[in-house]
A and B are shown apart, each in its own frame.
Chain A
Amino acid sequence: MIEIRSLTKKFGNFTALDSISFSVGDGSIFGLVGSNGAGKSTLLRTIAGVFRPDGGEVLIDGLKPFENSAVKGRCMFISDYPYFFRQSTLSDMADFYRRIYPSWNENRFEQLCGIFPIERKKKIIEMSKGMQRQAALICALSTEPEYLMMDEIFDGLDPVIRQLLKRIVSGEVSDRNMTVLIASHNLRELEDLCDHVGLLHRGGILFERELDALKLGIQKVQAVLRPMPRPEELGLDLVTCQIRGSLIELVARGTQEEILARLDRFHPTFVEALPLTLEEVFINEMEAAGYDIDNILV
């Protein structure tokens, strides 16, 4: 379990993380979203033990990761621009990780090399961005980490490899109870993969919640009503409401059954509950919380 308590990280006068607290349970896939400079990468680096916290603490199974080899040996961090030694090939990097990580699994490495379309003997520096990420992923997953932290991992990956990545990560989580933290701007990708999400903004965490609970608590409904009542007459906890002629599209809090039952009272010609995207959930939540959403999500 990853526990973050009042975590603060400063770069000179700039506070990148401002007293953040939340926790990530074992076996969950936690998505970190936020605008540029929100502190996602800093948070991941601090959890991975690269940065020393300036305040508060990060605990992984009750232990601080900074300068703690025992904890770091169970973690793996893939940064937004993975680093490879000069002139090294995937085999060279595998050799390096093999020496450093006691949990290195050679069979898993062979297996992953078979899954990802990558040449082992080719210099990594000569590979494309997406191929380099694949190389980093192969090495990372071959160490069989208990905690995997990935920063903007979907950048540069083609849709096939993205799906492959999601499948492999999900498999690792279900097989080994691996805990995953992913920082990304790409809410659609996170929506497919994550079970928890957290929104960072200006170094603080605005909220973190289970994705299903987040989605279940808010609904999007389209209906055709004649005559069209005024929104306040609907008796719903509306988040947004748009009326175009006899068509009303609304986002309201509550269960799907409650909302549809309410609308039934107005004898709709047509009524349909629509799936909410993670992006819409966030937008709605943020607006409800009084934030200017344009300045938070880009």
Chain B
Amino acid sequence: MTSTTSSFKTGFAEGKAIFFWSLRRGRGILVLNATLQFLLFPFLTFLVVQGGRREYQENSYQQERYTLEEYLYNSFCSKSQAVFYGSLLVGIALCFILCAFLFGYLHQKRSVDLMHALPVGRVPMALGKFCAGLVILWLPILICFLLDLLLTVVMGVAGAPSFVPFLIGKMLPSLGWNMATLFTCLAVFLFFAVCCGTLLDTMISVIAVNVFYPMLLMFVWTNVAEQIPGFSTDYLGTGGPLDILIQIGSPLFAGFITPWMMTSRLLGNSLLMLAVGIVLVIASCLLYRYRKSECAESGFAFPLPKYIICFVATAASALLAGQVFQYINDTVVSYLAGLVIGSLLAHSIAEAIYSRGFRGLPKSFKAYGVFAVVFLIGYASVATGLYGYDTRVPRADQVESVEVYIPTQYLSQGYSGDVFSFNVQKVEMDPDGMGYTSTKSLVDLKHILRDTESIEKTIAFHQAVIDQYRQDLYPYLRPQSRYYKDITLIYHMKDGSEMKRVFSSRIYEEPDGDTEAELRLVDLFNVHEYRTCGNYLYYLEPDSIADIYVEFPHTETAVSAPVIGESGATAQEIESQTVELTLSHEQKEELLAAIRQDIDEMHVTQVEPLYYLDEPKVSIDCMEPFIPQGEALKELLGDNYTPGSRVIFSETMYFSLGGNYPHTTAVMESILEEYR
């Protein structure tokens, strides 16, 4: 114990000496960083707030709407995120300089002779230099941030009621993210400086891993999603595994993009970023202890990162070339040719860069062979359905419930584009009550089916879709972006697990005639629970309806057109007539009741309504802020809702009148009659 304590004290003293020496030598970079951060934080704040003050004093309209503090606060907020981003960019750029300054000694034989002969352990040396780098990066940011805060107090910005929530909710998390990112960026440089033999290789490796790794992940992710039926397509910014993998493997890239994509998760991401940085620092220290001094100026001290980077760059380039070739010529052969050509080119370029020439290229094809085998195994796995992933269907008796999101033209279930995002939001109204300043999601409407019949019919539909995929696309040799995924099935299993699958409705819509999947979908649609569960129409209240627009069927007009050759051509000009209706409270109630009755009683025989194009289209603008009155909505909102506050639905409703909406059609006709 005494020995350990003594060793720690000695190491600490050694690290301290290196730390202060490095800090002294790096004071130029410190001053540079401080100057840039000063320009970004207090100086820019001063300019922005001063400008805001002048605008406010010159604009009487703004004076009526806002207090001076509120106006200055708005000006301050508008520049805040950009400032934090700018500050982060400056810090990341300085990491490159700091890498050369702090860890460059590892890459010169002469400096290694000096530094490694010193009575300083390698770990204290690395940590002393790393900490000096951190101080150079962090100290100016912290001081300038505090000066910024002081300035907001002095200039009156902090007097705005929203300032403290903004400080806690946005500024401090952004500051934390910046500091965590810079910590990890410096750790990345330390790690590669230890692994590489030259500074150039260090820089190349850091850039390569931060460019090609996220590129590879995104290509793999999108390709797998587009190739394998059912594979979920959660992209960047959703906080999913893709984001976590990118943050772990390429912190510089994550540092750049995360503040824009996941502002609400910055705290968690900061902690993850910090954890990645700590792991990198520990790994660097462990590797440094075994690093051979003689590898300075020559290749890699630890070649594994080089092989991994070459592998990643080759794979990413192969997939990129595959996409490009497929875009040029949409065939499997073209896609495969792209994979091969892209990977060969990328491998040769990577080898030429790392070996400073092509002399080692023939030998390097052994590594390419390993890459090819691994890539082929991965490709074959995807092409054959990822070991049964594509055909996996749960048994009905294992399923507790299933969330079903399928676009349909019979009724609106909150389907917007290819995302189901229907929710009820809390609204902050403007003081004049004319508009609203912000919204906050209170509850998402979910279409969760629990009845055994619903589950069985969902599974039957699922199985039919899979069969259709297998029949049309198996083996899945290339990404099929045209089959965009718009169907989501999420099974909540009795054992607590979850199984999510997403599919494209195109797979069963495109073939002629009724496919098995379409028949199974009709079966599902005729289940009452499917139509009514989670359907927001059952939560709408008359006050939520603003206006109703009725678009009558197309009237086609033949117009003359230029004659081409011997045959004449005609163009069709499509005209439509839209009527805007404003209903009384009673009419709205009557309309809602009719819609609900139609949905309750609906029975369909085919997936798409035949009369769709010939019937008037109705869109109900139900995005009027209102105070909930009905028990159904109050129950849905639960504890999330503050009584008396206004809410708003996130989507409006579209449907076609006709056979499936007889009661609604009758009500609408009577209203239209009145209108006429």
Contacts and interface: CB of A to CB of B under 8 A. Distances in A.
B117 A49 contact: yes
A282 interface: no
Name which of A51, A75, A82, A83 has the most chain B CB atoms within 10 A of its CB: A83
Interface in B99-124: 108, 110-114, 116-122
Nearest to B115: A83
Interface in B412-452: none
Contacts of B585: none
B119 A101 contact: yes
Contact of A83 (B110, B120, B293, B294): B110
Contacts of A71: 119
Contacts of A96: 21
B608 to A, nearest CB: 71
Contacts of A50: 112-113, 116-117, 293
B289 interface: yes
A85 B25 contact: yes
B351 interface: no
Given A51-B294, A73-B119, A100-B118, A79 B113 contact: yes
B194 to A, nearest CB: 15
Given A45-B293, A51-B293, A99-B17, A83 B121 contact: no
Interface string B119-136: 111100000000000000
A75 B117 contact: yes
A218 to B, nearest CB: 37
B292 A51 contact: yes
B387 interface: no
Nearest to A96: B21
Interface string B390-417: 0000000000000000000000000000
B113 A99 contact: no
A11 B14 CA distance: 29
Given A49-B117, A50-B113, A69 B14 contact: yes
Contacts of B293: 45, 50-52
A146 to B, nearest CB: 12
Contacts of B120: 69, 72, 100
Nearest to B110: A83
Name which of B18, B113, B294 has the most chain A CB atoms within 10 A of its CB: B113
B327 interface: no
Interface string A61-77: 00000010111110111
A49 B119 CA distance: 9
A101 B18 CA distance: 11
A48 interface: yes
B20 interface: yes
B119 A79 contact: no
A81 interface: yes
Given A50-B113, A82-B110, A83-B114, A100 B292 contact: no
Contacts of B117: 45, 48-50, 72, 75-77
Contacts of B110: 79, 81-83
Nearest to B116: A50
A72 B108 CA distance: 20
B113 A77 contact: yes
B374 to A, nearest CB: 27
B4 to A, nearest CB: 15
B10 interface: yes
A99 B119 contact: no
Interface string B540-551: 000000000000
Nearest to B108: A83
Interface in B268-298: 289, 292-294
A83 B113 contact: yes
Given A49-B117, A82-B110, A99 B289 contact: no
A76 B119 CA distance: 9
B292 A67 contact: no
A100 B116 contact: no
B114 A79 contact: yes
Nearest to B20: A99
B127 to A, nearest CB: 14
Contacts of A52: 292-293
A72 B122 CA distance: 12
A70 B119 contact: yes
A73 B117 CA distance: 9
A63 B25 CA distance: 33
Nearest to A76: B117
Q: Range of interface residues on chain B?
A: 20 to 34
Interface in A72-117: 72-73, 75-77, 79, 81-83, 85, 95-96, 99-101
A96 B117 CA distance: 14
B100 to A, nearest CB: 10
A72 B119 contact: yes
A197 B113 CA distance: 24
A99 B21 contact: yes
A82 B117 CA distance: 12
B487 to A, nearest CB: 58
A83 B108 CA distance: 9
A85 B17 CA distance: 16
Contact of A72 (B18, B20, B118, B292): B118
A44 to B, nearest CB: 9
B289 A69 contact: no
B176 to A, nearest CB: 33
B119 A67 contact: no
Nearest to B112: A50
A67 B118 contact: no
B114 A67 contact: no
A67 B117 CA distance: 9
B111 to A, nearest CB: 5
B51 to A, nearest CB: 42
Contacts of B292: 51-52
B609 to A, nearest CB: 75
Nearest to B16: A99
A72 B14 CA distance: 12
Contacts of A67: 121-122, 289
A95 B25 CA distance: 11
A50 B110 CA distance: 11
B17 A100 contact: yes
Interface string B3-25: 00000001000100110110001
A69 B119 contact: yes
B355 to A, nearest CB: 15
Contacts of B113: 45, 50, 77, 79, 83
A29 to B, nearest CB: 20
Contacts of A76: 117
Nearest to A87: B25
Contacts of B10: 69-70
Contacts of A99: 17, 20-21
B111 A83 contact: yes
A65 to B, nearest CB: 9
Interface in A236-262: none
A290 B108 CA distance: 40
A152 B442 CA distance: 78
A107 to B, nearest CB: 21
A137 to B, nearest CB: 14
A175 to B, nearest CB: 22
A248 B64 CA distance: 120
B105 to A, nearest CB: 8
Contacts of A73: 119
15 contacts: A45-B113, A50-B112, A51-B292, A51-B294, A69-B14, A69-B120, A70-B10, A76-B117, A79-B113, A82-B114, A83-B108, A85-B25, A99-B20, A99-B21, A100-B21
Interface of B: 10, 14, 17-18, 20-21, 25, 108, 110-114, 116-122, 289, 292-294
Closest 3 CB pairs of A and B: A73-B119, A83-B110, A79-B113
Given A45-B117, A52-B292, 19 more contacts: A45-B113, A50-B113, A50-B293, A51-B293, A51-B294, A67-B121, A67-B122, A69-B120, A69-B121, A72-B120, A73-B119, A75-B117, A77-B117, A79-B114, A81-B110, A83-B113, A99-B20, A100-B17, A100-B120
